[in-house]
Structure 1
Amino acid sequence: MSFICGMGHAVGQRRAHSGAYMPLARAALTALIMAATLLSGPQAHAAERVSISRDQVNLRSGPGTNHPAEWVLSKGYPLQVVQRRGSWLKVRDFEGDQGWVYRSLTNKTPHHVVKAERANLRKGPGTQHARITTLNQGEVLRTRQKTARWVKVETTDGLSGWVARSLLWGW
């Protein structure tokens, strides 16, 4: 990303109309203000995440029950909010698919979904720990604890263990 000085000339360059030099400190301050403005936009904020709060919820093609249901999502399914329109949320899943869900059918309970074809559920946070079971792509997991590289989760069957974070999507 490049920043362009708001004055229209390079730092230290003589301005034709005034004959004065732009001080380095002023240029640095201008660059910092511009960077802060750019970084305070929506791209700098953490993406809002929600999870499905009911057993089955329709993901619709548009914001309203008059729009057809494209998919049915199960309880806990994690989603990223990309837009709001009234009581409706436009959301994205781990595969990048988008649709609309009624806001009251979601909550802030953290969940992950297995994005890899298969993932090992382990007794501890590391490959040296024994495998409890193998999870399949699309399986929804309740998030219990997170480290930099591992997530402690609970399956819908009540099994608890650790999965490599790189194999999951969610929060």
Structure 2
Amino acid sequence: MMEVFEAMRFSAKLFLLGALLLLWGSAAEARMVSIDRDTVNIRSGPSTNYSVKWEVGRGFPLKIIASKGSWYKVRDFENDEGWVYAPLTSRKAHLVVKKPVINIRSGPGTNFRIVTQAKYGVVFRTEKRVKGWVRVRHESGVTGWVARRLLWGW
């Protein structure tokens, strides 16, 4: 009877370990990066021998969906996919505007005054997060708060 109990405990531990590995693997594949150069090519495959699909600028956020050697397969906020050379990326959190026009406010809520607006595709550095709001900084120096649901990235 004791051997059956020990076998069941071992099976349960193995199951939990497998589940944790699956969760960890999913989390690792869902990593985000941002572009760390003024302009970087997104390519159709994992080397400079592949064609350039599009270019992105500094801070542009990308979701890593796979990797091969020193290259990341990435997806952007429009669900376009391509490959970027990993050393040209950073772990600095950035966000991109995913709506036609958004308000940038002086504080984290709709009761705060509008400082300025930003258009679709504008990239911001993430500074702080507070209950569904994000404090952002544009490369021009403009800072303010934006509702998180209006942005894509991290």
Residue in structure 1 matched with residue 57 of structure 2 by the alignment:
74
The match for 1:38 is: 19
In the alignment, the residues of structure 2 paired with residue 130 and residue 45 of structure 1 have an alpha-carbon distance, to the nearest angstrom, of 39
**Range with greater deviation from structure 2 (119-128 or 140-149):** 140-149
In the alignment, what sits opposite 2:34?
51
1:64 to 23, 42, 47: 47
1:159 matched residue in structure 2: 142
Would you say how many aligned residue pairs link Structure 1 and Structure 2? Answer: 146
**Residue 144 (1) aligns with residue 120 (2):** no
| Counterpart Cα distance in 2 of 1:90 and 1:48 | 11
Q: Distance in 1 between matches of 2:66 and 2:131?
A: 28
* 2:126 maps to amino acid: T
- 1:123 and 2:106 aligned: yes
CA contact (8 A) 2:34 2:94 kept: yes
Q: Quick one: higher RCO (CA 8 Å, sep 6+), 1 or 2?
A: 2
Find the aligned partners of 2:29 and 2:83 in 1 and give their Cα distance: 20
- What is the aligned-residue RMSD (CA, Å)? 2.0
* Structure 2: 5+ residue stretches without partners: none
Shift of 1:48: 1.1
Residue 45 of structure 1: CA displacement? Answer: 4.9
1-structure distance, mates of 2:27, 2:66: 15
**Distance change >3 Å, CA 83–CA 141, structure 1 → 2:** same
Q: As a proportion of its length, which structure holds more helix?
A: 2
C-alpha distance in structure 1 between counterparts of 2:148 and 2:77, whole Å: 13
Q: Distance in 2 between matches of 1:125 and 1:161?
A: 8
Give the aligned residue type for 1:72: E
- What percentage of residue pairs aligned between the two structures are identical? 45
Gaps of 5+ in 1: 1-21
Per the TM alignment, residue 117 of structure 1 is displaced from its structure 2 partner at its CA by 1.7
Larger C-alpha radius of gyration, 1 or 2? 1
2:82 is equivalent to residue 99 of structure 1: yes
Say which structure is richer in strand: 2
Structure 2: how far apart are the matches of 1:143 and 1:44? 20
Q: Provide TM-score, normalisation by structure 1.
A: 0.78
Deviates further, 128-137 or 33-42: 33-42
